[in-house]
Each structure stands twice: as C-alpha cells, then as structure tokens.
Amino acid sequence: MISSIKQIDSFSWYFEEENVRFFLLVGNEKALLIDSGMRTRNAKELAAKLTDLPISLINTHADPDHIGSNHEFEFFYMSLSECTNYYNTQKRSGNVVPVFDGDILDLGDRPLKIIEIPGHTPGSIALLDINNKRIFTGDPVQDGRIFMFGPQREMHAYMHSLKKLLKYSDQFDKIYPSHGTCPVKPTLINELYDASLKILSGKAQGQQEERFEKKIIAYNMGCATFLCDLLNEE
C-alpha cells in the first residue's frame, strides 16, 4: 500500500500512500505517528523499522484515509470533538486519549504543540513541531482538494482556523500537509483564507461534480480546489 517512505531529517519521515500521507516523528525518548494511513494496516510495524523507541499515534482527524492502522494501538490521541466522526460516522473502535488546544506532547526534547483547527472536520488539529519550526496540518492547509461538503464541514469555522494559524506564522517555516505538495510554504494560509472568503461571498465560480453519489460544487481557486456543498439543491 505504501508507495514510498521519504526522510525529512534524521528524526522525521513521511509515508506516501496513494493520495494521502502520514508522518513519523522521533524524539529522544519516544516516537509519534501522525495519522495511520488509509488502506495501510501495519503503520506501526512500518514505523518500528525506523526507530526502536516506543511508538504512539495521534490522529489529525478521523476521516477514513487517516485511521487505517488505528487498530494496532492500545490508544491514540485525538480531539474529543472528533469522536462523533470516529465512532459514529466511521463506525470505528478504540481508546481515545483526548488532546486539547495548547497541549504539549513531548517526545523527549521534541515538544509538539496541539492547535485546534476545526472546519474541515469539527475536531481537526495541527501539530507544531516547536524546535524544528514545522507544522503538520492534516487536511485543512494543502494545495490539493479540500473536502468541505457534508454535515461535518463548515467554511466559516475553517476561515477562523486559518486566521488562528496566521497568529503562529512566525513559529514555522514549512507546512507538512496530508495531501498535495509536501512541504508547502506558510504563505499558502493567506491564499486559502482569501479563496474561502471569495467562495463564501459568492464571488467564486465553481463547477458541478459528483462525489460519493452526491452532487457538489468544486471551486478551483489556484491555491487549492475546494469541494463544497451544492447550495439550493432540489
């Protein structure tokens, strides 16, 4: 299922799987997987080939392309706001250890700060790799196709989350998303904010598509493509 494993530095990697990726970060005392793939069922086993340290898991959110190997772990970190998606929408099981905005997960001289960024899903989070000036953003910040249709997605919340990330912009030099180009520049956050504002204000032109047997509208905004609910659908 994994097409490639790419090294960021001596203590960081990402795994490419079809159109999604997940990450392994290693500190002095322990390691952390950020998400666990889509069809991959042995993410922990793959990570163990790169480090001898104990490996934990955090989910940026609970869409199915991020939780494929969750069953390998006794517990996983996740925002409580994402539990409805995980347990009800996705019908998955497992033990959540909640994380909250501003929490620090320290891998041993490698602190990671939790930043809640709802919008794409209610419990989407980003992880700021403080010492290395990187941020891992899951789906909301990317230059690919951002899913914003369906009952769990909300564009107003998404815009507030982008504004929130801008307050941290002096604390990271690179963004590592789960889709699209990797890494991307922090200037993408402003571009996504401007694009979402145009969509909400009705100033963007979209194209009707069908996804999962549902009619949607796709806005190719240059910086990314937003897949949104088709308004006034009969």
Q: Report the candidate in 97, 98, 90, 219 with the shortest Cα–Cα distance to residue 149.
A: 219
Residue type, 161: S
Residue type, 203: K
Which residues is 79 bridged to in the sheet? 99
Here the tokens at position 24 are: 């392994």
Q: Delimit the domains of the chain by residue range.
A: 4-143+152-201
pLDDT for position 63: 98
Please tell me what DSSP assigns to residue 84.
I
- Helix or strand (DSSP H, E) at 160: helix 155-166
Taking 50 as the pLDDT cut, the residues of the chain under it are 233-234
pLDDT for position 234: 40
Q: Which residues contact 218 (CB under 8 A, 6 or more apart)?
A: 145, 206, 207, 208, 209, 225, 226, 227, 228
- The class (CATH top level) of 4-143+152-201 is alpha beta
pLDDT for position 232: 53
Query: What is the b/e burial string over 116-134, where b = at least 16 CB atoms within 10 angstroms of the residue's CB?
Result: bbbbbbbbbbbbbbbebeb
pLDDT for position 151: 87
